[in-house]
């Protein structure tokens, strides 16, 4: 189903009944360019420690949100929201209810919504002050948004800023290659997806670029803060130049109550978005795949959600 965005955000919010599920994977070998430093400011000059980060062989327990379609079954939609997207879902996260879904079982490429999974797995595997040395291969992925250079040393938090705000494919690859080897990181992504019960999702890269076997169907407080930020200033240090990631999610500026999450685009996927907003104590999440007007579609679906109150 199209639950990647809604389940990711519900993990960030941790708002309603959840069901722990253990996620496991083979032991991975730490990348030699990865090190940790004492926690100071999130953007202070990184100072690697002598020993590498111990990479867990088992991911933390996944708190799977229980999303129900009982309200939707009891309230047939008289007039479906008019959107350009090929597939969509609207979830009242506060009540744990699906309010609308369109083509929920069809597989589609999900473009940069993949980066939500990349961010969660990275946060599972390493502290956010982990220092990662940018490999040359990460700088050669196209399109390249954050603008990191080979040999620069950035913290995982800084790379997540570029990943989630700039939608940096280079940041995604640096993370995947810098914490563990790339193949192990992608294996962790699929382990995480399985633990989240994303049965119609499969990941073959950390950025969401088009590949034949990469597809989807429709608590991390640090990640929640990043996706809700309009802009972040990462000051220059001896290890890297300055960066100023600006969130490409324009709903943060235009939609009242918007709090994230992530837009994306590739040729095969079209325009995609996972969007969330909070009003009057309710949090609504909308996910759209394969659109030509993803921001407009997201606003239409969020409006639909807020127009349909759910009684428990």
Of 112, 201, 207, 216, the active-site residue reads 112
> Of 115, 153, 192, 262, which is the active-site residue?
115
Give the SS3 label for residue 31: coil
Under 8 Å CB-to-CB from 225, ≥6 apart: which residues?
Answer: none
Q: Is 230 a catalytic residue?
A: no
H-type alpha helices, 213-283: 221-227, 251-254
Q: Is 199 a catalytic residue?
A: no
**Distance of alpha carbon 204 from alpha carbon 224, whole angstroms:** 24
**Catalytic residue flag (residue 70):** no
The strand ranges marked E within the chain are 18-24, 34-35, 58-65, 87-92, 97-102, 131-133, 153-155, 258-266, 270-279, 282-291
Structure-block tokens of residue 249 = 């999610």
**CA separation for the pair 123, 301 (Å, rounded):** 30
């324009």: which residue's tokens? 250
Catalytic-labelled residue, pool 6, 10, 167, 201: 167
Catalytic residues, which ones? 112, 115, 167
């Amino acid at each position: 189903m199209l639950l990647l965005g809604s389940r990711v955000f519900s993990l960030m919010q941790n708002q309603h009944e959840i069901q722990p599920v253990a996620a496991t994977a083979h032991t991975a070998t730490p990348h030699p360019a990865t090190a940790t430093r004492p926690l100071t400011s999130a953007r202070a000059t990184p100072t690697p420690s002598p020993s590498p980060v111990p990479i867990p062989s088992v991911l933390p327990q996944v708190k799977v949100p229980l999303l129900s379609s009982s309200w939707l079954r009891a309230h047939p939609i008289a007039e479906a929201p008019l959107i350009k997207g090929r597939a969509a879902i609207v979830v009242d996260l506060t009540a744990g209810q699906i309010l609308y879904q369109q083509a929920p079982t069809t597989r589609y490429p999900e473009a940069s919504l993949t980066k939500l999974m990349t961010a969660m797995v990275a946060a599972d595997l390493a502290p956010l002050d982990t220092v990662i040395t940018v490999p040359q291969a990460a700088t050669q992925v196209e399109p390249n948004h954050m603008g990191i250079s080979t040999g620069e040393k950035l913290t995982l938090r800084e790379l997540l800023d570029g990943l989630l705000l700039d939608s940096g494919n280079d940041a995604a690859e640096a993370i995947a290659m810098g914490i563990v080897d790339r193949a192990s990181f992608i294996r962790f992504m699929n382990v995480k997806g399985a633990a989240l019960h994303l049965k119609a999702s499969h990941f073959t890269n950390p950025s969401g670029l088009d590949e034949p076997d990469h597809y989807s169907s429709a608590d991390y407080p640090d990640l929640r803060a990043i996706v809700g930020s309009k802009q972040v200033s990462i000051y220059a240090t001896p290890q890297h130049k300055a960066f100023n990631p600006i969130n490409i999610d324009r709903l943060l500026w235009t939609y009242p109550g918007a709090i994230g999450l992530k837009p994306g685009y590739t040729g095969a996927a079209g325009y995609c978005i996972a969007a969330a907003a909070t009003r009057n104590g309710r949090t609504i999440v909308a996910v759209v795949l394969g659109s030509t007007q993803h921001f407009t579609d997201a606003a239409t679906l969020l409006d639909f959600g807020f127009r349909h109150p759910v009684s428990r």
